[in-house]
């Protein structure tokens, strides 16, 4: 996720508005900042690693003259935070400047093609390829609009692109596929931005660019065209009635709720992993004598789900362990043949980095899954994958959990293929289901949110919750319980359901709420037994089950129904969403701030 702001003005300096706009978008990313301005037909680009305020001051960006310009605040996805990777990216003649939010899936093949044609690349980003492709097209007489359309038709992936060029120094071109871009017009000019808060000081009449559309901005306003056939699109503007504070959260009352709702998008991005790194990581996993999955908090629950995925799909035994226990438990036995796969949203968690240090000292191979390019984890791991969730601001991890399980699922499937553990038909079916997950998550949220709010109201005064699941759903239960515990402070337990009768069942009495996670699959008949055990001791049963699952519905007091056809192995990614919403609404009903729970920090960088 990155922040984009562009403007064409009648009066005033564009950089002043770009600076303000980027500051309002800083929540979208903040590792590098850059601006391109055209003045007297000359393009000037200033950019560097660092937060907006730092870069604007150190590069004296506010001194840049000009009435047309674009700016970018970056959240790295390809290439570490560094001056050369900061946007805008330019072609070789510095006539075209490109900024981008998203991930270009086919950039490596396009980059190879451009290199063969003699282009020299200055960065390690996926974005730069667009500047070179445009430069190549501009060698014909097709014009900038034609060049844009031709290039966009070749790009696969998610993007909001904004292009400034001395070929047409009074225009800004932009395009969208799955990454947001909003257009607006005021008396003083025309604007584009990643999000409404950046436009609100100038106009509350906006037009959201849609997937597959390109827009041409000029002082006269904007023209929207379809990328597929170049035809013009007429669409009325929309009036925004949000306050500036609400606008920053896109109308949601809290970042946590916004991030829960962002999951269909973050999961779609999580499906766009770089094939060659996925391949590399799975090769390491395949070669190791033993594989440890090391992480803390929510990331540990992803590892727990991962251990079932590796076992069930790829027949690989792995050892999930919380980072703070790694050294005590395995520190003296890990060695040169051990693989340590670490998972960390921030890439900066102290306990995880400590485990990594130790593993490296013992010559083990350290691999990583993280959300943060340029984090310590990405510097010390032998190889890593970026989970592509975008920045998460709420302290409670939500979209980063589902993205991590999405990445681990793809690793397990790739490994299953390498090791010949699944047939091609099975692999194809899992792959198809994996691609349906973002839609299933969307459907779950849309259909169930009101019902979950009502369930939170009914459970408002509960003093204890018990979360139970079997197999991979025990990871979902643990994560559902962590969400509830950290933001509502209500005491709660989570257990593998089969284990509950070995102790925890003693606390069950009349009226205690037991939350059961029950997807269809191998564990279904066992979970029925566990529900009966709890029900016969007076527990109230709240089940998350498949739509039309009459066996579970008959035994439960309340149910949340999930879409049909989700394979049990992939179920945590979808089945966690009602539990995230339940925790969120309960916290809000209790008058608590779910974004900033007491005693917690987003990233725990201390021992």
CB 351 → ligand M6R: shortest distance, Å?
8
Identify the H or E element spanning 140: none
DSSP characters for 87-126? SPEE-TTS-EEEEEEEEETTHHHHHHHHHHTT-----S-S
Q: Which token pair is 341?
A: 């796969």
Concerning whether 414 is annotated as a catalytic residue, the answer is no
Cα(136)–Cα(272) distance, integer angstroms:
26
Query: What number of chain residues touch ligand M6R (CB under 6 A)?
Result: 17
Smallest separation, CB 494 to ligand M6R (Å):
14
Q: How far is the CB of 295 from ligand M6R (least distance, A)?
A: 6
Q: Does 604 bind ligand M6R (CB under 6 A)?
A: yes
Q: Is 602 a catalytic residue?
A: yes
Which CB, 37 or 396, lies closer to ligand M6R?
Answer: 396
Residue 355 binds ligand M6R (CB under 6 A)? no
Give the residue with the Cβ less far from ligand M6R, 174 or 356. 356
Q: Do residues 348 and 380 lie in contact, with contact meaning Cβ atoms separated by under 8 Å?
A: no
Of 13, 298, 459, 476, the one binding ligand M6R (CB under 6 A) is 298
We find the least distance from the C-beta atom of residue 353 to ligand M6R, in angstroms, to be 9
577 binds ligand M6R (CB under 6 A): no
Q: Which is nearer to ligand M6R, 361 or 600 (CB)?
A: 600
> Are the CB atoms for 583 and 467 separated by under 8 Å?
no
Cβ proximity of 58 and 46 under 8 Å: no
Residue appearing with tokens 């001791």: 537
CB 346 to ligand M6R: min, Å? 3
Q: How far is the CB of 181 from ligand M6R (least distance, A)?
A: 29
Quote the CA–CA distance of 400 and 346 in Å, as a whole number.
Answer: 10
Return the CA Rg of the chain.
25
Q: Is 595 in the site for ligand M6R (CB under 6 A)?
A: no
* Residues 6+ positions from 326 with CB-CB distance below 8 Å: 292, 294, 351, 355, 358, 359
Dihedral sign (CA 134, 30, 299, 281): positive
Sheet of strand 232-233: strand arrangement: 89-90, 96-104, 157-165, 172-177, 213-218, 221-226, 232-233
Rule CB under 6 A: say whether 415 interacts with ligand M6R.
Answer: no
199 belongs to the binding site for ligand M6R (CB under 6 A): no
The answer to whether residue 346 forms part of the interface with ligand M6R (CB under 6 A) is: yes
Residue 296 within binding range of ligand M6R, rule CB under 6 A: yes
Q: Which is nearer to ligand M6R, 240 or 482 (CB)?
A: 482
Look at residue 520 and give its three-state secondary structure: coil
Binding status of residue 403 toward ligand M6R by CB under 6 A: no
Residue 138: name the closest of 101, 198, 83, 94 by CA: 94
| Residue selected from 299, 410, 488, 577 as contacting ligand M6R according to rule CB under 6 A | 299
Residue 373 Cβ, how far from ligand M6R at the closest point, in Å? 14
**Would you state the structure tokens that stand for residue 234, as one six-digit string?**
């007429």
Q: Is there binding between residue 338 and ligand M6R (CB under 6 A)?
A: no
- The answer to whether residue 492 forms part of the interface with ligand M6R (CB under 6 A) is no
- Are residues 100 and 202 in contact, defined by beta-carbon separation less than 8 angstroms? no
User: From the candidates 2, 303, 514, 545, which is the catalytic residue?
Assistant: 2
User: Between 70 and 296, whose beta carbon lies closer to ligand M6R?
Assistant: 296
Out of 338, 352, 402, 409, the residue judged to bind ligand M6R by CB under 6 A: 352
Q: Are 304 and 255 in contact (CB under 8 A)?
A: no
Taking CA atoms, 205 is separated from 224, 237, 385, 445, 586, in Å, by 16, 6, 40, 28, 35
Of 31-39, 210-218, 257-265, 345-353: span binding ligand M6R (CB under 6 A): 345-353
Residue nearest to ligand M6R (CB): 297
Mask for 460-489, x = binds ligand M6R (CB under 6 A)? ----------------------x---x---
397 belongs to the binding site for ligand M6R (CB under 6 A): yes
Q: Give me the active site residues, please.
A: 2, 602
Question: Where does this chain bind ligand M6R (CB under 6 A)?
Answer: 296-299, 344-346, 349, 352, 395-397, 482, 486, 600, 603-604
């Amino acid at each position: 996720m990155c922040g984009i702001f562009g403007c064409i003005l009648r009066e005033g300096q564009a950089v002043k508005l770009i600076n303000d706009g980027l500051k309002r978008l800083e929540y979208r990313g903040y590792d590098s900042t850059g601006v391109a301005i055209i003045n007297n037909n000359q393009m000037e680009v200033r950019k560097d690693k660092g937060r907006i305020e730092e870069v604007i001051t150190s590069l004296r960006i506010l001194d840049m003259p000009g009435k047309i310009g674009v700016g970018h605040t970056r959240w790295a996805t390809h290439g570490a935070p560094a001056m050369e990777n900061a946007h805008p990216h330019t072609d070789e003649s510095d006539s075209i400047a490109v900024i981008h939010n998203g991930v270009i899936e086919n950039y490596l093949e396009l980059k190879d093609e451009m290199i063969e044609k003699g282009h020299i690349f200055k960065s390690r980003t996926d974005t730069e390829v667009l500047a070179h492709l445009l430069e190549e097209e501009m060698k014909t007489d097709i014009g900038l609009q034609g060049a844009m359309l031709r290039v966009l038709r070749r790009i696969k992936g998610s993007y909001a692109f904004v292009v400034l060029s001395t070929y047409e120094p009074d225009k800004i071109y932009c395009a969208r596929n799955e990454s947001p871009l909003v257009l607006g017009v005021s008396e003083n000019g025309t604007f584009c931005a990643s999000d409404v808060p950046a436009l609100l000081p100038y106009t509350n009449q906006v037009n959201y660019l849609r997937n597959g559309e390109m827009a041409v901005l000029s002082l006269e306003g904007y023209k929207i065209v379809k990328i597929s056939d170049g035809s013009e699109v007429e669409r009325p503007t929309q009036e925004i009635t949000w306050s500036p504070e609400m606008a920053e959260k896109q109308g949601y009352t809290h970042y946590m709720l916004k991030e829960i709702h962002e999951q269909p998008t973050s999961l779609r991005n999580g499906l766009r992993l770089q094939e060659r790194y996925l391949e590399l990581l799975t090769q390491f996993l395949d070669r190791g004598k033993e594989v440890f999955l090391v992480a803390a908090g929510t990331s540990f629950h992803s590892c727990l789900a991962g251990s079932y995925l590796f076992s069930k799909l790829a027949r690989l035994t792995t050892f999930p362990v919380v980072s703070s226990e790694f050294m005590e438990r395995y520190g003296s036995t890990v060695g040169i043949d051990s693989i340590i796969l670490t998972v960390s949203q921030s890439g900066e968690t102290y306990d995880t980095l400590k485990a990594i240090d130790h593993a490296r000292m013992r010559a083990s191979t350290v691999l990583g899954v993280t959300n943060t390019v340029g984090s310590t984890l990405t510097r010390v791991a032998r190889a890593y994958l970026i989970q592509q969730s975008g920045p998460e601001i709420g302290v409670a991890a939500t979209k980063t959990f589902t993205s991590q399980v999405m990445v681990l699922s793809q690793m397990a499937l790739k490994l299953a293929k390498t090791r010949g553990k699944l047939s091609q038909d099975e692999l194809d079916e899992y792959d198809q289901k994996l691609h349906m997950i973002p839609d299933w998550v969307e459907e779950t949220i849309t259909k169930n949110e009101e019902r979950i709010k009502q369930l939170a109201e009914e459970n408002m005064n509960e003093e204890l919750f018990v979360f139970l699941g079997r197999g991979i759903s025990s990871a979902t239960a643990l994560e559902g319980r962590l969400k509830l515990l950290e933001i509502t402070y209500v005491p709660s337990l989570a257990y593998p359901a089969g284990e509950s009768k070995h102790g925890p069942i003693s606390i069950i009495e009349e009226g205690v709420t037991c939350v059961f996670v029950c997807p269809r699959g191998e564990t279904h008949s066992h979970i029925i037994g566990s529900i009966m055990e709890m029900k016969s001791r007076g527990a109230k049963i709240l089940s998350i089950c498949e739509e039309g699952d009459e066996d579970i519905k008959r035994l439960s007091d309340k149910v949340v129904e999930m879409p049909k056809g989700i394979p049990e192995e992939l179920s945590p990614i979808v089945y966690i969403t009602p539990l995230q919403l339940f925790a969120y609404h309960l916290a809000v009903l209790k008058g608590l701030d779910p974004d900033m729970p007491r005693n917690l920090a987003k990233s725990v960088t201390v021992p």
